[in-house]
Structure formats: structure tokens, C-alpha cells
Structure 1
């Protein structure tokens, strides 16, 4: 039989490709990084994310930065399966509005359908499909943002979230029939099999979880609340439709912040990530009274002040995070900005 498509998230157009993900998706991320031995300043600095954003679950994070913070956390903590472990402990309540759409549904089957239905408002530039295959549902997930090349950790986190929604009702012993990932088989792939207690395939066309229908039948959601479900659905749709996320300047700054640890970002690279031509990006910046080099300079200065206030990084450690190959180059730039050295400014700010 032909599989019946229950829900499809439309592929994002270029105008909506950077609308991002609600920061509820990073709930508890800072504590999880710390528990795994990571340095928050380094991880968030490399990914160009302000940790203050994580305190507000309905704020929008740029999707490239969100995926990068997960990849950077995996590298800096030395935990190759970081996303898998983060997703394993990520309970539906922590997902904010998206989680409560599932929790307030009438049945477990409804919860899965509603979860897939509203996911596009929670996270843009993403393809979500819930396929009816007869005996099973298949939950498909794939990021469609052309600028995001590293997305393994996000995929493993998201599959864990979907499985945990079902385990919330059926218990931790429940297992899907099969889990698939688009990335290659990692070195510690046995942990994936243990976490999902199922067959796990890699190098597939997309990421998916295969869920037997008989496992869902007859199970009511313990927190079913039809009135709250209606309100939560309405709220998440309004966030996705009315609050389109960061404007062009914010998007460009976030991408610049994420690129700086690899060196000074180029106009070509940022324009490509924004899915714009270089002349178009230059024109859009001129309309804001800026050129690209000024935007890079502003981003460096703002990041430098934030890192200096935090006080956990030395000046020599801070310089590479801002794209400077030498500490002396950063010190000269800082003195040009504010008339004092970074060390003098930090001493004054702390005292």
C-alpha cells in the first residue's frame, strides 16, 4: 500500500530559511555541558549564542547557531554522543509549548500527530513528516537549511525527544521498531542501540523513528486538557507566524559570531549562509548604514566586552574566539575601539 502522509512541514522558502528554533529546544543545555566538563564560555562563544537567550523559551535562536552549539559541545566535552545523551534525558515538559502540545493531547496517538503538526512552528527550515505505513507510523525529521552542514548532534537529540514523548506514557522500557540517521555510523554506535533498545541504521536518506501502532492503541495521555491544548496550539502558531525571528542584521551577526573562531569571516561566506548574493547583502547592509567590515567589527567588539565581563577567559584565550590569530592584534583593535587595553578595561569593569 502507499504510505499515507499524516503531516508534512512545507520546505522553507528563502524568505523564511533563517527563522530559527525556539530556545526551549536548548532547555538545560548549559547545565548539561557543565556536567560533561565543558566550558560554557568557549562552547557558546564558538557557536555565537548569548546564554541569556536560553532563559526565555519563546525567543528564537538562529538554527545554524543552535546546531553549531551542539556540535561544539560534543567537541569540547569530548563526548562524541553528546546529542544522544542530551536527548535521552530531555523530557517533554522541558520543550515548552511544543512539549505541552503532546502532553495535553487526548491519547498517545493524538500526541504524536499533534507533535508533528506543530513542530514547524517550533523550528523552521525543517522537514517534518508523520507517515502512516499501515502497521507503523514513521516520524521523519530532516533540517533543510543549506548553511547547516554539521547536524548529527541535533538529529540524535530530536530522535530522543520523539521517543521520550512516547516513553512518558509507556515507560522507559518502550522501544521503537527501528531508528534511522542520515549521518554515518559513529565510533560509539553501540550506545545508540542501547539508548533506543532497537535496530539503528546509519547513512540513510533522513532521520526517522518507526513506531508500531499497536503500542499506541488505547493509551490516554495522563495530562489531557483540551482547553489548554487549544491555547498552547494557538500560542505556538502565533510565535511561528507573527514572530519571524531575527532580522537580517541579527542573523548576520549570529553567523559572524559563529564563524569568528575560525578566523575573520568573509562576505561571501555570510551571504551564502543567508542564502543571498554578495551584492544583495551589501545593499541590505547599506540600507542600515553599515558595510560588512563594520558589522564584523561591531560583532567583535560586543563579544569582546561580554567575554571580558564574564572574566573566565584570559586575554590570550579570548583573542582566537574573536578571529584574531595573535593576541597583539586583538589588543590593538580593542585600544582603537575604547582607548584602553583589554586588561585595563576588564580591571575597571570588575572593580
Structure 2
């Protein structure tokens, strides 16, 4: 099984994937803003579909939304309502590929532009090919909603391009079976197996050669190129210090920077993160200070930037707090 190397660092996902969850919460008149805030997210942040969101926060918000809506099968339902365009270039590559097999393979490769920290592959070790999906980080748990959304979405995508009557051979989930499995039967219409090594959709071998009416070679090439460009643009360095620096830079003005949150987003414990940074001769606090200093220096060179605007851009409440911080920086230097 291959890892989808959507980034070389912390596990991430594009903000667009939160769209169905936000719509479900709004449709039920739930307090969506409070739920997003609970996981360090906001509508403003998610208004950009390409925004990078830590995978763990997305998974946690999905689980919490199912609880708030009292809908254990939320992931199943939303996956079955997915619009291919919400998967970015991966969805459009899927739709425009010449055969179902090519669609699944190209989708799996292009998914690297949309999320990371996952093990995804089209496995053909035996007579029955299986599209397999699993989050690589064991610490991101529970993750039932994401798993069920992914399997439901894949089946829904296949039916959109192959025909509504299509059915898989069976569907696998890594988590335990819930008390009520009727929703699974309504969505998949085939046997569903739980507590499996990975989540997966098992297909008939002949399905892979099926031609797709939605095939568009030119669009497929364009979307593959777009996905490749996104992967290159948002690649995160292997070096842990640079990964922390990247996280800090991305969210400097949008949220309170907490060491425990940064450690969680990197898939590490608080203690482990601080130990590794200490061995590298730095700390989260030092990195935040350096990035704020760098940002302030750049912003102050721009015409029309007031001290209040600069302060907000680096996560300070007002110009007075920024002034105090700059004095402390001078003493530290």
C-alpha cells in the first residue's frame, strides 16, 4: 500500500472538505460557528477551498458534528451527496478519465493535492481489486465519520460516472460495527465487514475496464497538472523545525498559537515535540517570536500599514501589545 504524499510533513486536508459538514450543521440550525471554534476553525478560514487545515482537526470536527446532530451515519449520508467538484482536481480527474480503473488510479494520485497523512491505493493482490483508504496516524481516533464518508463517497462517485445501478462486491471498515447496520445496507446494498485492516471498496475485476461516458482527455490532463502544481506548492519540509515554522506562519494572524495544538497537528505529543525542538536548539516560543519579527519587518515596509494593522496581522490584539512585544524582542536580542 502506498502513502499519498500530499505533504511531506504534518497531516493536512483542504478546507473545501468541511463544506458538506458546515452545510449539514446550518441546515439543522446547529451552532456551526461554535463547533468550528472548538477545533480552531472559522468560516472565514474555510471560505478559501484551498486553505490547509490540519487533518486531525477536520476528523475531530466531523465526529463532533455527528454528535451534535445526533446522526451516527452523518459520514455515510454526506458521502452519498458528494459533488465531484468538491474534491478539487482529484474529483475532476476521476470524472474525466477514460475508464473506471484509470479514474480510480488517477484519483488516488491526484488526492495528494487534497489531503495527506493517509494510506490510499488500488490493491490488486487477488482476484478482487479493492480501493483502500486509511489515515496513517493512529493518534487520530476516533475517525469513523471520515472513513464512512470516504467509502460512501467513492461508491457515489462510481455511480455518477458508471451508472446508478452499480454495486461493489463488498465494503470494509476498520472500526467496529455499530448497533444499527441498516444505513450501510441502504447506501452500499452489499455485505459490509467491520474491524478490517483498512477501509475499502471491493470491486468486480471487469469494472476497471468499463469506459466512462464522462471521459474528457483534455480536462483530465489539465486537472492532473493542476494537482501536481498544488502538491509542489504546498509541500511541507521533512525537517521538524521547518514544519513548526510552516504551521506558525500559516496561522499567525488567525488563531491563538498553543504548543499542545501544534504538537497535535504534527501527530506528536507535547513533550515529544518540545524535546525534538530543544535538541535542535530552539522551541515553539522561539519560532513564534522569530516569525512575528520577520512578518512585522516586512509589513512595516508596506505603504499604508498602520501599527494596529500590523499588530492584527501577526496575532496581537492592538498596537500597544505589539509595541510591548517589540521592546521584549530587543531585550532578547
Question: 1:82 Cα shift?
Answer: 1.1
C-alpha contact (below 8 Å) 2:2/2:121 kept by paired residues: yes
C-alpha contact (below 8 Å) 1:130/1:139 kept by paired residues: yes
CA distance in 1: counterparts of 2:115 and 2:84, whole angstroms = 16
Question: 1:146 Cα shift?
Answer: 4.0
User: Please, what TM-score do these two structures have when normalized by structure 1?
Assistant: 0.70
Aligned to 2:98: 106
Structure 1 gap segments, 5+ residues each: 1-7, 292-333, 339-351
Change (3 A) 1:63 1:135: same
What are the equivalent positions in structure 2 for 1:279-290 lying under 5 Å apart? 279-281=275-277, 283-290=282-289
Aligned to 1:74: 66
User: Please, what TM-score do these two structures have when normalized by structure 2?
Assistant: 0.73
**Secondary structure at the counterpart of residue 155 of structure 2:** helix
Instruction: Select between 132-141 and 162-171 the one with higher mean Cα deviation.
Output: 132-141
Once the two structures are superposed, what CA deviation does each residue of 1:257-278 show, in whole Å capped at 9, x if it has no partner? Answer: 9999xxx985896497346432
**Secondary structure at the counterpart of residue 90 of structure 1:** coil
Change (3 A) 1:234 1:19: farther
Question: 1:52 Cα shift?
Answer: 2.3
Report whether the alignment pairs 1:185 with 2:181: no
What are the equivalent positions in structure 2 for 1:76-225 lying under 5 Å apart? 76-133=68-125, 135-222=127-214, 224-225=215-216
**Secondary structure at the counterpart of residue 132 of structure 2:** strand
Report whether the alignment pairs 1:233 with 2:233: no
Instruction: Select between 268-277 and 108-117 the one with higher mean Cα deviation.
Output: 268-277
Report whether the alignment pairs 1:10 with 2:8: no
C-alpha contact (below 8 Å) 1:37/1:77 kept by paired residues: no
* Count of paired positions: 280
**Secondary structure at the counterpart of residue 203 of structure 2:** strand
CA distance in 2: counterparts of 1:86 and 1:139, whole angstroms = 19
CA distance in 1: counterparts of 2:189 and 2:256, whole angstroms = 37
Change (3 A) 1:271 1:162: closer
Question: 1:162 Cα shift?
Answer: 1.1
Aligned to 1:242: 233
CA distance in 1: counterparts of 2:262 and 2:47, whole angstroms = 33
CA RMSD for the aligned pairs?
Answer: 3.3
